[in-house]
Amino acid sequence: MTRIELRPAQIADMRAALESRERTIIELMLQQPDYPPLPPCPECSAEVERMDSMLEPPQFGVYDSVLLINMKPCGHRFRGAVDIDQPS
Ligand SMILES: [Zn+2]
């Protein structure tokens, strides 16, 4: 399946949503299964149960890193350039 290209703004939104979810978990000392939901899939808006993300290996002369994201259970796969200087 081809990966869907995400715009930088979409990546930024998703990371912001994940960070605020993380903060909520820490502040309220939540335990699974009380974790807040993950951000919905940007493609089909399905509820996401699991999100796997990894960075593509850096290439010489390329300053942007590419983030690969796999959503489950809908199975959509995304890629998008990220600024590696930003905290992940
Ligand atoms: Zn989806």
Could you give the C-alpha distances from 42 to 10, 47, 59, 63, in angstroms and in order? 8, 10, 27, 25
- How many whole angstroms from 3 Cα to the centroid of ligand 1? 11
Every domain of the chain and the residues it spans:
4-82
The residue with tokens 């959503």 is: 71
pLDDT attached to residue 57: 81
Rg (CA), the chain: 14
- How many whole angstroms from 25 Cα to the centroid of ligand 1? 24
- How many whole angstroms from 21 Cα to the centroid of ligand 1? 20
pLDDT attached to residue 82: 80
pLDDT (tens digit, 0 to 9) for every residue of the chain, 88 residues total?
699 999 989 999 999 999 999 999 999 999 999 999 999 999 999 999 999 999 888 777 777 788 999 999 999 999 998 865 545 4
pLDDT attached to residue 85: 57
The Cα–Cα gap between 73 and 88 comes to: 23
Structure tokens, 76: 């959509």
